[in-house]
Structure 1
Amino acid sequence: MGDLNAKVGTDYTQWKQVIGQHGFGEANARGEKLLNFCAANDLVITNTMFKQTKSSRQWTWESPDQKTHNKIDYIMINSKWKTSIDNSRSFPSADVGSDHQLVIANLRLSFKTKARPNYPKRYDVQKLKDTITQNSYAVEIGGKFSPLLDDADTDVETLWEGIKTAFNETSKKVLGNRKAQHQDPWISEEVLQLSDERKQVKIEKCQIPPRELGIISSTEKLKGRLKDAKISGSKIYVKRWITHTKRQNPRRFMQLLRRSQGNRVSKCKQ
């Protein structure tokens, strides 16, 4: 904030919550109003807080005859960010075609890292597709359910806690927790297998002449199959994205849908 013709002076003892020990010149009436405004709004004037090696970095205005200098341009921030300022000064070398100088401040921010949410662990239910695992799970959960169902005097809350505990203990023991998948969405088992086949073909191509094994045609076939697998995987990923967007932000989904339909209509009219 500048060009207020407000000179805040050097009275650090009285205004130490607003200015630093390196003010400039004498305070005037407008300067006192600015000091009161800063004190009322918990602001500090940063370019009075740091000692400068050159006097030209202290003042912000110069008279046409270059004999009179004043500090009437300031950078003010909330006092809670006061310790984040490394330096604040005038910038005399900037050619801005004005009798005022630019005022700069070096700001260094350090934010607290936000704690990552503790998501509940998910059980690996895919293992239930295996018949042996299904039978093992049924036997385990049945043994835990029997005592609960036999007791007719059990109230609803106790029964629910017992069922929940039985499911969690059995799932943890038989299924285990599901491991996170770090692969790209389109990389399926088929794509990985095709990549290994192509790698093996390249190795054979370097060892034996291609004409003897027909490796060139095999490589081309693998390229085509790998491309088809990637396209198929990408389509699945797009479908998942559409489903997720439709659930999480239906308004945004409808906007995109109308826009795409509008584009199609305009093309048809042309």
Structure 2
Amino acid sequence: MSVNLSGGETKNQIDYIMISKRFRNALLAAKTYPSADCYSDHVPVAAKFKLKLKKTRKLPINIKLDLAILKTNQSLREKYQISVQKKFEALEEEEKIEEQWENFKSALTGAASQLPR
């Protein structure tokens, strides 16, 4: 809003735009509309912005698995061991260590995700 202050014959107009610090540099121009009927001594102010928004990245969700249940429940432990053995037998030998690690990790987490929660 802007306020007209009378100081003798001249009228002063002060423009205030409340904006977050984050978007302060995005403000391009501001314009007042003194002819608008607001029934007030204030005048509407319009502003132009140029926003550059960054695309938000979705972080992978890490699922916490309760493997402590394997210590207490013998039947679940055996099912988990069988499942892991089957997954390791199905894996092929990879030359790259990164691929071996990814296969190893996916086999363990895949078998653990099949456990009841």
Q: Which has the higher strand share?
A: 2
Q: Which has the higher helix share?
A: 1
Higher relative contact order (CA 8 A, sep 6+): 2
The structure with the larger Rg is 1
Q: TM-score, structure 1 length as denominator? A: 0.26
